[in-house]
Amino acid sequence: MQFKNWKLLEIQDNIIHIEYDAYQFKKALFKKLNILENNQFNYLDRRETEISWRSMDQYFNFNFDNSILDDKLELMFKKSELKTTNEVLVFYNHENIAIEINTNLLISEWEDFFQSTKFNTIIINRKHHLIMEVSRDYILHSNFKIWNDDIYCTATSTNKI
């Protein structure tokens, strides 16, 4: 398959697996994992998410559209539970495909992946216990902790004499 998406073209040799009907694949996966969908989701509101996050056992979120976080989010990912996984599924909703890639690739190039999905994606690790969703209002939703106060505070502190 010839990709149209710039990021998919760039990483096509690193893609482990591709699901070509991501919509149906996601529906089946949500059902298998008992993930409730947001029934109000219609792509009109930038704050909308596909997942009904309030129904999850754990729910974390933060705004990643912050210049201070640009270099720190990779470190936060590396210090999170995400680093313990080998592969992740990244859903390209507008392309109706899902790709499986190495987790380290996602971590090191997170900003490119978020941009290439038009800030509208779900990312699930291969064992299906870590789930993230990027909403178009630049909020990263997850069922595991990513935010790290120590990293953020170090990035924002200034040395005053």
Does residue 35 lie in a domain region? yes
* pLDDT at residue 157 greater than cutoff 50: no
**Taking the chain, what is the end-to-end CA distance rounded to the nearest angstrom?**
59
Q: Which residue has the tokens 């069922």?
A: 143
The confidence score (pLDDT) of residue 70 equals: 75
Beta strand 17-19 pairing with 97-102: antiparallel
Domain housing 150: 6-156
Element spanning 102, H or E: strand 97-102
Distance CA 4, CA 7 (A): 9
pLDDT digits (tens, 9 = 90+) for 74-125: 999 999 999 999 999 999 988 899 999 999 999 999 999 999 999 999 999 9
Please report whether residue 71 resides in a domain: yes
- Report the distance separating Cα 87 and Cα 140, nearest Å: 19
Per-residue pLDDT tens over the stretch 26-61: 999 999 999 998 876 656 556 689 899 999 999 999
Is 24 inside any structural domain? yes
Residue with tokens 């969703």, as numbered in its chain: 133
Q: Is residue 60 part of a domain?
A: yes
d(CA 48, CA 88): 22
Please tell me the distance from the alpha carbon of residue 98 to that of residue 49, in angstroms, as a whole number. Answer: 17
* 138 falls within a domain: yes
Three-class secondary structure of residue 84 per DSSP? helix
How far is it, in rounded angstroms, from Cα 124 to Cα 91? 9
Identify the bridge partners of residue 91 per DSSP, sorted by sequence position.
98
Residue 15 is assigned to a structural domain of this protein: yes
For residue 161, name the pLDDT band (cuts at 50, 70, 90).
Answer: very low
Tell me whether residue 161 is in a domain: no
Report how many domains make up the chain.
Answer: 1
Structure token pair of residue 66: 């912050």
Whether 124 and 89 have beta carbons less than 8 Å apart is answered as yes
Looking at the domain assignment, is residue 1 inside a domain? Answer: no
- Which residues lie across from 134 on neighbouring strands? 121, 140
Give me 55's structure tokens. 């129904």
